[in-house]
Structure 1
Amino acid sequence: MAIAVCAFQAKAQTKVRVENDSAKQVISANIYGHFAEHLGHCIYNGIYVGDTAREIPNTDGIRNDIIAALRKLKVPILRWPGGCFADTYHWKDGIGPKQDRPAMVNKWWGGVTEDNSFGTHDFLRLCQLLGSTPYLAGNTGSGTPQELADWVQYVNFDGKSPMSDLRKKNGHDSAWGVQYWGVGNEAWGCGGNMRPEYYADIYRRYSTFMTDYDPKKPLFKIASGANSADYHWTETLMKNIPTNMLSGIALHHYAVIEWNKKGPDQSFTEEGYFKTMESALFMDSLIQKHTAIMDKYDPEKKVALVVDEWGGWYDVAPGTNPGFLYQQNTMRDAMIAATTLNIFNNHSDRVRLANLAQIVNVLQAVILTDKEKMILTPTYHIMEMYNVHQDAKLIPTNYVSPKYDYNGKKLDAVSVSASVDKSQKLHISLANIDAHNAQTVELDLDANNYKTIKGRILTSDKLTNCNTFQNPNKIEPEVYTKASLKNGKVSLSIPPFSAIVLELSK
């Protein structure tokens, strides 16, 4: 299948034609990954309440309500322990009897003292409980090649060795077999303020000593990649690191108004919303340009572009610790998530892993907690609605969108991606970022003989609306019944700042 889309600005109508064609590219489930850093209350007093907690139901210290919510989200892969924290983290401080673990100061995020009670075993237990693939970020900033090599051996080697013996002493007889590894984080900044030429050599050095203990499951090694539009960084890494040593290159990009003036998390203006969406939609251009560089050195696309930090970043919620990056999550965040996931789906030939920042209580979180209370955010609901695309085959889209016009500046109003799953169900996700105008869409199903249609919508009456601990269900998906299927055509209208996922069956 292929979807060809034409838009008619005067009528604010998008016409989508679904044609019989080949749908070959698989949308990796890992595009829907998440990120958990030792930052604010993401881990401590968020995911993890401790082994001795009684007031909040938990399994091995991990909140049961969070486990249940994230399992429903189908979190495919989870990145830990950072972020900037990764290059100050020494993994051996987080293993063994908890009462014997040394404390550390989190220099990056609030200067708080942590007791290292949540470490490697705890994170891998979390992944087991969620059914998620672990992604460990190694320390190449303040750590050594030996330290990273030892960590790989500790979690991956089943034979007789110093590190596997230590793992068994700490209560885990068999290796976990962790495949995904970050070789440092943001080496251009908090990971060491390195030049790309220098980091390329650092990557080659550290990765050399990361052993593939299971030849059937080689390590997926991810280089610390570019900060947004730093195309020179990508060029330098692709030029200086052989592709047989490299599985992926990271890319970090946050949707911000301005870095020095991020604006409020909830009481934002339409101008703030427009600028944030402009920054979010820039992801498409970033992926295209970084991909073009990677294609010069890797035309077969063996190396993945890994967007392992993305999301909206605003000023922290009033009255909260500036170092904890806690912000509310509104319909603006839903629009960031919906459009970004559509972009990732449509570029899934190169983007094969991504991690939303961050999973609980930090930046564009899917879950917020307050002691025993927990709420799901609009972003959670978008991620849950869109997870029908995981491991489905992409149906390419080609369209010109109607425009969202604000004070003479224009953005594409409609965002679309589509896929067909193993049961041959067609899923189309559509978002309308326009703050005022609904968008009419017509789907021409051609000869595909779809007979039934159902849909879900996430919408609200104000852009600044959010779920709160007092009103946790203000925004949640609803059944969408206004899509009409007649004579092989589907017609629907997407309200302002709303997202719809349709499912069509034959």
Structure 2
Amino acid sequence: MTTFKEKLFKSLALFFVSTSLLFSQSEPTSISIQIDEQAPIISKHIYGHFTEHLGRCIYDGIYVGENSSIPNTNGVRNDIVKALKELQIPNLRWPGGCFADEYHWKDGIGPKAGRPNILNTHWGMVEENNGFGTHEFLDLCNLLGTEPYLAGNVGSGTVEELNDWVEYCNYDGNTDMANLRKENGQDKPWHVKYWGIGNESWGCGGNMTPEYFANLYRQHATYARNYPGASIKRVASGADADNYHWTEVMMRDVPHHMMWGLSVHYYTRTGWPPRGSATNFDEADYFLFMDHCLKMNEILDKHMAIMDKYDPKKRVALVVDEWGSWYAVEKGTNPGFAYQQNSMRDAMIAGVTLNIFNTRVDRIKMANLAQAVNVLQAAILTEGENILLTPTYHVMKMYAVHQDAQLLPLNFKSPKYTFEGKSLPAISASASKKDGVVHISLVNIDANKENTVEVDCEALGVSDFTATIVTSDNLQDHNTFDNPNKVKVQGYNDFKFKKNKLTLTIPPFSVLMLEAK
């Protein structure tokens, strides 16, 4: 016979189980996809990358020299070329960054024995021998099948220096610069299309006011000329994060035909110098960094509103040519080298940021992850002859399917990720269609709770679904040289399709890509 205490215990147990289920589950997030034939194309160039003479990005990263025992092509590591090619990177920015405004390109051409040693004053006060210069970088871009994006020196350079560099790269004729290029082994011009005019001119690029830089930009841009067969796209050095006044002045004072693009830089970090470990963090740290990551929405929208005021036809692109996470450097490494590990938190930052870009491609036409190898939110890390692919690499590779696809606008209300009384949108998403194939990228940033999503597919006319996911057991999980496949892309099949509705469950801190035909 059941006693009163036993009945009470069972009732309480049932109550607590029911309450637990109530708080652990939420209503499914319903996503409707709009078919808009006038929707913009997601430019492939928002999936660009960035390489700077910073720490071990170039030397002891991409470039090991022709005499290295590591397999290479003219000094460039073959394994890195292979890995970057698999990312289908559309453009590569070089040589900086802050380094660009102390770099004099003529130091890095000609016989290597005659190239001067220089001091990298911005990043670690190290000397370098200019073994990797214009020819080596443009040869790398040729190996990768990617567009070069050269950053010109405005901070310590001259108008003549920039003019000569553009002519050296792009003019096919009988001038001193064209002939110098030929003497150095490149008979035909490279026809470099993308040129940055200055970098962070509000800070390391010269500590200028926007009013002063606007005039200086006009001067430099005038002499960064088009040549036959080589029409260039000039990108003006733009704002730091929420410096909206800089964007206001540039859009007001620079003729729009002189700017293909105006840049903005935004890093997910908490203060300066950057704080926190890339791998040793708790949920409070994670929530704080995701909050900073999501502020990209507000920052971009406010810059774009200013641009819309002066350029309603959206002729000037917004170029986010530096973005990514920034923590304290790994213990035992040079503080000036910005070397950090890369965890599931960075996979979240990558997925959310790319979704933010995808949904604003009427104005955003280019972006560059900082950086490709061994620096900041790197796609690839190296150690001697070994390389590893980071969680960020895997997310970038998954998202490559959006390149040059037509945006499919989404309509949904995200559930909340709540921590200590504060809330953030848990779900981030974007979608596109190309050659009849639909891709939907979804991110669940919630550190604890899975979220169910229902996608109304009736307007899409698709029924054949496959999916991949980047997820792991712990937020702090990352790949190491001892365990390089801890975090990787996996198959995913926790979904069902019925009556034109796709229902799926996204685990906590996961990035998911759906493909539908």
TM-score (norm 2): 0.94
Q: Which residue of 1 aligns with 2:325?
A: 312
Deviations 1:1-50 (A, max 9, x none): xxxxxxx9972421112344435300000000000000000000000000
Unaligned 5+ segments in structure 2 are 1-22
Deviations 1:34-69 (A, max 9, x none): 00000000000000000121x200111100000000
- 1:436 aligned to 2:448? yes
Q: Which residue of 2 aligns with 1:490?
A: 502
Match of 1:278 among 277, 285, 291: 291
Q: What percent of counterpart residues are identical?
A: 56
Structure 1 residue 219, shift from structure 2 partner: 1.1
* Residues 157-166 or 392-401, more deviating: 392-401
Q: Which residue of 2 aligns with 1:328?
A: 341
Deviations 1:287-317 (A, max 9, x none): 1100000011111101000000000000001
Q: Which residue of 2 aligns with 1:267?
A: 280
- 1:412 aligned to 2:433? no
Q: Which residue of 1 aligns with 2:75?
A: 61
Looking at structure 1, the residues matched to 474 and 370 of structure 2 have their Cα atoms a distance apart, in angstroms, of 24
| 3-state DSSP of counterpart to 1:175 | coil
Match of 1:169 among 183, 186, 203: 183
Looking at structure 2, the residues matched to 40 and 435 of structure 1 have their Cα atoms a distance apart, in angstroms, of 32
Contact 1:256 1:275 in 2 (8 A): no
The verdict on how the C-alpha distance between 1:442 and 1:409 changes in structure 2, with shifts beyond 3 A counting, is: same
Contact 1:124 1:134 in 2 (8 A): yes
Looking at structure 1, the residues matched to 104 and 215 of structure 2 have their Cα atoms a distance apart, in angstroms, of 22
- 1:36 aligned to 2:51? yes
Looking at structure 2, the residues matched to 465 and 290 of structure 1 have their Cα atoms a distance apart, in angstroms, of 35
Looking at structure 2, the residues matched to 502 and 267 of structure 1 have their Cα atoms a distance apart, in angstroms, of 31
- 1:477 aligned to 2:492? no
Deviations 1:103-160 (A, max 9, x none): 0000000000000000000000010001110000000000000000000000000011
Deviations 1:193-245 (A, max 9, x none): 0000000001001011111003x542110111000000000000000001011
Match of 1:288 among 301, 304, 313: 301
Looking at structure 1, the residues matched to 386 and 296 of structure 2 have their Cα atoms a distance apart, in angstroms, of 34
Contact 1:307 1:353 in 2 (8 A): yes
Q: Which residue of 2 aligns with 1:3?
A: none
| Aligned-pair Cα RMSD in Å | 1.3
Match of 1:347 among 360, 373, 381: 360
| 3-state DSSP of counterpart to 2:116 | coil
Q: Which residue of 1 aligns with 2:26?
A: 11
Looking at structure 1, the residues matched to 284 and 495 of structure 2 have their Cα atoms a distance apart, in angstroms, of 31
The verdict on how the C-alpha distance between 1:147 and 1:260 changes in structure 2, with shifts beyond 3 A counting, is: closer
Q: Which residue of 1 aligns with 2:262?
A: 249
The verdict on how the C-alpha distance between 1:470 and 1:208 changes in structure 2, with shifts beyond 3 A counting, is: same
Looking at structure 2, the residues matched to 115 and 250 of structure 1 have their Cα atoms a distance apart, in angstroms, of 30
Looking at structure 2, the residues matched to 408 and 164 of structure 1 have their Cα atoms a distance apart, in angstroms, of 64
Looking at structure 1, the residues matched to 460 and 418 of structure 2 have their Cα atoms a distance apart, in angstroms, of 35
Amino acid at match of 1:130: L
Q: Which residue of 2 aligns with 1:236?
A: 249
The verdict on how the C-alpha distance between 1:176 and 1:491 changes in structure 2, with shifts beyond 3 A counting, is: same
Q: Which residue of 2 aligns with 1:96?
A: 110
Looking at structure 1, the residues matched to 510 and 395 of structure 2 have their Cα atoms a distance apart, in angstroms, of 10
Q: 4+ residue runs of structure 1 moved beyond 6 angstroms?
A: none
Q: Which residue of 1 aligns with 2:143?
A: 129
Looking at structure 2, the residues matched to 455 and 46 of structure 1 have their Cα atoms a distance apart, in angstroms, of 33
Amino acid at match of 1:135: Y
The verdict on how the C-alpha distance between 1:245 and 1:33 changes in structure 2, with shifts beyond 3 A counting, is: same
Amino acid at match of 2:100: A
Looking at structure 1, the residues matched to 36 and 46 of structure 2 have their Cα atoms a distance apart, in angstroms, of 24
Q: Which residue of 2 aligns with 1:451?
A: 463
| 3-state DSSP of counterpart to 1:268 | coil
The verdict on how the C-alpha distance between 1:247 and 1:9 changes in structure 2, with shifts beyond 3 A counting, is: farther
* Residues 89-98 or 264-273, more deviating: 264-273
Contact 1:335 1:431 in 2 (8 A): yes
TM-score (norm 1): 0.96
Contact 1:9 1:403 in 2 (8 A): no
Structure 1 residue 456, shift from structure 2 partner: 0.3
Deviations 1:415-438 (A, max 9, x none): 0000001x2111000000000000
Match of 2:67 among 41, 44, 52: 52
Looking at structure 2, the residues matched to 346 and 9 of structure 1 have their Cα atoms a distance apart, in angstroms, of 30
Looking at structure 1, the residues matched to 467 and 281 of structure 2 have their Cα atoms a distance apart, in angstroms, of 30
Looking at structure 1, the residues matched to 378 and 206 of structure 2 have their Cα atoms a distance apart, in angstroms, of 27
Q: Which residue of 1 aligns with 2:14?
A: none
Unaligned 5+ segments in structure 1 are 1-7
The verdict on how the C-alpha distance between 1:223 and 1:19 changes in structure 2, with shifts beyond 3 A counting, is: closer
* Residues 275-284 or 12-21, more deviating: 12-21
Q: What is the number of equivalent residue pairs in this alignment?
A: 495
Structure 1 residue 448, shift from structure 2 partner: 2.9
- 1:427 aligned to 2:439? yes
The verdict on how the C-alpha distance between 1:105 and 1:20 changes in structure 2, with shifts beyond 3 A counting, is: closer
| 3-state DSSP of counterpart to 1:404 | strand
Deviations 1:349-383 (A, max 9, x none): 10100000000000000000001010000000000
Contact 2:194 2:232 in 1 (8 A): yes
Looking at structure 2, the residues matched to 77 and 394 of structure 1 have their Cα atoms a distance apart, in angstroms, of 20
Looking at structure 2, the residues matched to 19 and 306 of structure 1 have their Cα atoms a distance apart, in angstroms, of 26
Looking at structure 2, the residues matched to 220 and 261 of structure 1 have their Cα atoms a distance apart, in angstroms, of 33
Looking at structure 2, the residues matched to 278 and 447 of structure 1 have their Cα atoms a distance apart, in angstroms, of 34
Contact 1:19 1:446 in 2 (8 A): no
Amino acid at match of 1:286: I
| 3-state DSSP of counterpart to 1:277 | helix
Looking at structure 1, the residues matched to 185 and 461 of structure 2 have their Cα atoms a distance apart, in angstroms, of 56
- 1:461 aligned to 2:473? yes
| 3-state DSSP of counterpart to 1:11 | coil
Q: Which residue of 2 aligns with 1:5?
A: none
- 1:206 aligned to 2:220? yes
* Residues 387-396 or 399-408, more deviating: 399-408
